[in-house]
Chain A
Amino acid sequence: MFTHGAMDFFYLIIFPGFAFTVVAGLLSTWVDRKVSARIQWRVGPPWYQPFADVIKLMGKESIIPEGANRVSFLIAPFIGFTAVILVSTIVWMANIFPGASFVGDLIVVIYLLYLPAIALIVAGSASRNPFGALGASREMNLMLAYEAALLFAVFTVVVKNGGIISLGGILGYQAAHGAMLSQGASCIIAFVVTLLCMPAKLGIVPFDIAEAETELIAGPYTEYSGVTLAIFKLTKAMLLFTLPIFMLTLFAKTVWTPWTILWYALILVFIILVKNVNPRFRIDQALRLFWLPVLGLSLLGIILAAVGL
C-alpha cells in the first residue's frame, strides 16, 4: 500500500491520517454541538470550540489516581487513538488508490474499530474508580449487543459482491456495477442496520450508556484529566468522522468525490437528530433492542443477499 518512507509519513500524519482526521472530526463535533444548540433554541458555541477544548486540556495537569494501574491507565487512551488513525488512513488510501489495498483489509478495519471500545473498558477498569468500573462493564455489554448486528451488516456486502474482502476490491466492484446501495433490498437493509448501530458504536446519546453523565458522572472518563482526557476526546471526534466514511466506502461507491460531503452531512444530521429527540436507553433495553429487532433485520439482510436479492 505504501511505497517509500517520506510518503508513508505524509499519508499517516498529514493527509488521510492524523491531521486531516483530527480537523475533520473536531469540526464534526462542532456541527453536532451547534445543531443540538439550535434544536434547543440556543445560539451554540463558535466553530473553534472543540479546538479550544482540546488545547486547554493539553495545557492542564494529567493526574494518575492513587492505586490505579499506571501503565494501563496511561496506555488506554492511546490504544483507541492509534486504531482510529490507522482506520482512517486505510479507508482513505483504499479510496484514493483502489488498486493498492491489501487482501483482507476489511477484516483489519473491523478489528481496529473494536479498539476504541476496548480502550474504554481498559480505562474504566484501570482507574480504580467505581464509576469507571461500572462504565467499563456497561461498555462491554453494549459491545456484545451491537457488534453482532454490525458484523452481519458488513458481511451482507461481502456476500452480495461474491466474497470480496478487500476494500479496494469492494470499491472496484462498485465502480463496475454501481453503488452497493443500489444493488437491492439486502444492501439497503444492511445500511439501515449500520445506521442504527452507529450511535452505539460512537457512544452518543440514545446509547451513551457507558458515559451516562447523570448516573455515572463520566463513566470510564471519570478519572482522566489533562492530556489523557484530550486524547479520549480526540478519539471520539475522529471516530465520529471515520465511521460514517467507512460505511460510505462500503455502500456508496467511493468517498473520493465531492458528493461525500453531502452524504456525510446527511448521516451526521441523522445521528444528531436521533441524539436530540431520544432519552438514554437502559443497558438491558439496549441489549434487547440490538439482539432482537436489529439482529433479526441484519440476518434477514444476509439471507436476502445469499438468495441474490
Chain B
Amino acid sequence: MGNNNHRLSGIKKWGFKKSPWVFHLSTGSCNNCDIEILDALTPRFDLERFGILLVGTPRHADILLVTGVVTVQALPRLLHVYEQAAKPCMGVAIGACACSCGIFDGGYHVVGPVDKIIPVDVYIPGCPPKPEAIISGVVKALAKL
C-alpha cells in the first residue's frame, strides 16, 4: 500500500500537531521494540511536553506505532485495529522488522512488512531503535501534515 496523504490546514493542523495521541500495537515483534517505546514514554523523555499521550484504544489514536513483522496470526488483528482507528490516523513502522521484515524475512509465519498491509508514513530503522530515534520519527510524521 502507498503512503497516506493527510493534508490538514489551519487550526485543525495545529490541533493535530500539538496533540498526537499514540496507540501501540505489536504485530509479532520480539518485544524489544515495544520496550523501547515504553522507554520513550517514561518521565526521562517526558513526551507529554509535546502533547503525546499513550491511549488504550485505537478509537482515540492519531498515530499507530506498529512494531514487528506482520505474522499470519496478527494480520487480521492489524487490519481490524487500523479500521477501528478514527481517521486521520498515521502509521509509524518501528524497527527493522516492521520496516522490512528484518531477520524474520522469508519465515513461514511472515506475511510481510507493515507497509504491505496498512499505509505507513514514517519508517524508523534500528533493531531496536533508540527512544530518541522513535521521538524523531514521530516528529517527522507530524511534519508531513
Contact = CB atoms under 8 A, between A and B. Distances in A.
A188 interface: no
Interface stretch (A15-23, A39-47, A80-88, A270-278): A39-47
B60 interface: yes
A58 B19 CA distance: 12
A229 B19 contact: no
A153 to B, nearest CB: 34
Interface in A1-47: 33, 37, 40-46
B51 A213 contact: no
Contact of B19 (A56, A223, A224, A225): A56
Contacts of B84: 63
A305 to B, nearest CB: 44
A59 B14 CA distance: 11
B116 interface: no
A62 interface: yes
A43 B51 CA distance: 12
A56 B20 CA distance: 9
Interface string B17-57: 01100000000000000000000000100101101000111
B86 interface: yes
Contacts of A56: 12, 15-16, 18-19, 62
Contacts of A185: none
Interface residues on B, range: 20 to 34
A19 B1 CA distance: 44
B11 interface: yes
B106 to A, nearest CB: 36
A217 interface: yes
A33 B19 CA distance: 14
A213 B88 CA distance: 23
A37 B86 CA distance: 28
Contacts of B55: 218
Interface in B48-91: 48-49, 51, 55-57, 59-60, 62, 84, 86-88
Interface string A39-73: 01111111011001111101111110000000000
Contacts of B59: 63, 222-225, 229
B8 interface: yes
B131 to A, nearest CB: 15
Contact of A40 (B8, B12, B43, B57): B43
Contacts of A61: 86-88
Given A42-B43, A59-B8, A217-B56, A49 B87 contact: no
Contact of A60 (B43, B51, B57, B88): B88
A59 B9 CA distance: 11
A233 to B, nearest CB: 10
Given A52-B19, A60-B88, A229-B59, 10 more contacts: A33-B48, A40-B43, A44-B46, A49-B19, A55-B12, A60-B87, A61-B88, A63-B84, A218-B55, A222-B56
19 contacts: A45-B51, A48-B18, A49-B48, A54-B15, A55-B11, A55-B14, A55-B15, A56-B12, A56-B19, A56-B62, A59-B15, A61-B87, A61-B88, A62-B86, A63-B86, A217-B56, A222-B56, A223-B57, A229-B59
